[in-house]
Structure 1
Amino acid sequence: MTTRVASHAGSWYSARGTTLSNELDQWLAQVPDSIDGTQLPVPGARIIIAPHAGYSYSGPAAAWAYKSLDLSNAKRIFLLGPSHALYLPGCATSKHSRYATPLGDLVIDTTTVKELQETGEFDKMSTSADETEHSLEMHLPYIYKMLSQSFKSAAEYPPLVPILVGNTNADTEKSYGKILAPYLADPTSVFVVSSDFCHWGLRFQYTYYLPASPSSAAASSSGGHSLKKRDKDPTDPLIHESIGRLDKLAMDAIETGKHDEFLGNLRETGNTVCGRHPIGVVMAAIEILEKEEKISDEGKGKGKFKFVRYERSSEVEEISDSSVSYASAYAVL
């Protein structure tokens, strides 16, 4: 029995359980009790996309996804996040039996992890790789908080299945989607997908800009180009407005429910959505269930993501500036 330490506590978020709990409560309270007339949590919303930056940046945005999440039937929680430091062509699971948070430990579903390992398609993270990566850890306090509100005691909390997703391509995303589809079809499985959106700026080596104003080309990414350090700061539109349009195009592509549509958007704009691969795996899994007719037709938009919150770390106006975008979404299944 080994436990992964909360390696980013005290830097990316508070290491003090009481302080952290109060912050999470505050951010959740800032989210309205209903969205578009639907009471939260959204019934059947057992898949979410939420950001993974330091809580001072993305904590409020993530609250929108977590308050939408329906845990009423949850018996197992899959957590998929992108690999930022470890080169990984496929996916990897944790070798630990627990993940620590300042609020308490989350138990790993070692039975499901073993099943995934037996497919021969999953690597195992080393302790160093596991503790270096932040994309999974940044969701743990929120998961613990939501479970504490949904279950009577920690002994009843559904176990966690952490999956680190590497630099996959379209085919490998579809392959992993096929492996995970039976789990996704299980109404007691919850899926949390970890992703930030556009990382814009010279420091991210991404300065793509859409020059046309939103009124003339709102739904198009054509005519874009990368800004250079020596270029004059554009004003029509402002850079942050262009970033917003780039992210809107990516979110719209995700909301279509078509994996290839999302991949096409990324090829066209190069948008630096760091969780593109875990998003792609889950979208591929949903499409497989649709083809197998395991997703019923009743209810408009079933199996499709709906974005409910979008924020940026700053409003970029100068080429020398930078920002990271944060978006939250849910899908009913």
Structure 2
Amino acid sequence: MDQAVIKSTPSQETAANSATEINAAKVLELVCPAGSLPALKAAVDAGADCVYLGFRDATNARNFAGLNFDEAAIAEGIDYAHQRARKVLLALNTYPQAATSQLWRGAIDRAAVAGVDAVIMADPGLMRYSADNYPDLRIHLSVQGSATNYEAINFYQKHFGVARAVLPRVLSLAQVELVAKNTGIDIEVFGFGSLCVMVEGRCALSSYVTGEAPNTHGVCSPAKAVRWQQTPKGLESRLNGALIDRYDDHENASYPTLCKGRFDVEDENYYAIEEPASLNTLALLPQLVAMGVKAVKIEGRQRSPAYVSQVTRVWRDAIDHCLSQPQRYSVKPGWMSELNKVAEGQQHTLGAFHRAWK
């Protein structure tokens, strides 16, 4: 498993040298998940600059039962954040269906009335609706929009006034730098959390098993399709009846998704696509800031308030340390110790930032 400390490449060394010019005037926003009102408050109290959340319906990509916000909760959350000079972003990042498109347009209306600071969107039609009806409502291009190059990002800026783009988690560090240098809008990258190994917005893998695609139903492995069963061979995880993985007594079990299952491939039983591990880019903070990245996002709206608080505190400390003492920045063992407790599979990876996929 790849660790969060890696051997520098020439391009990374150049970026690291450039990082000596970083000063506290360069802002790197910390964007943290809020799957519930307690999680929102935990993120704000722990030092998040922004929190992102979703409504309780299929308009957001974390449409899990028991999560997300109704009107009363979002009003209280926005008030709590704004009183502390923090921002609230609404994830409206799935794609509307013809028969129910009003649900998505109505969500934009609700967001504008609620007073969110930005809406994170993937669908161009919704962006057009928002730009035409709420020109002052800031639009962020969701990772679900699958914009992997600066030409795509500049298209969204030109036609819809997009102010920020969240990059998919499949770009290398050099590709992130190329995008940031060739667009005039803010760039946001994922810094920590569950690693999606597909190009977000283009993955329909789970729909082959569940019949529900994440782009339209808001979750790739809906809880109603997940089953755990203890068998003589070990603990089995299944998705709509399909065996995804089997764990020995000493192994940490992860939430069953097809892309992170173990399968028999050419006489080898292993993770055919990617191992379950948490993306962790603490080691790359100076390079990301030097490239001009404006925000780092923590994944995990499906996680607990305790997770949100713990991860946010670590990243707040790390970002502050990076901005105030860039020449002396290094990943503290204490940070890694705290993140180890909540990492998926208790493992970390730099993912595509420094290597090709298996």
TM-score (ref. length: structure 2): 0.29
TM-score (ref. length: structure 1): 0.31
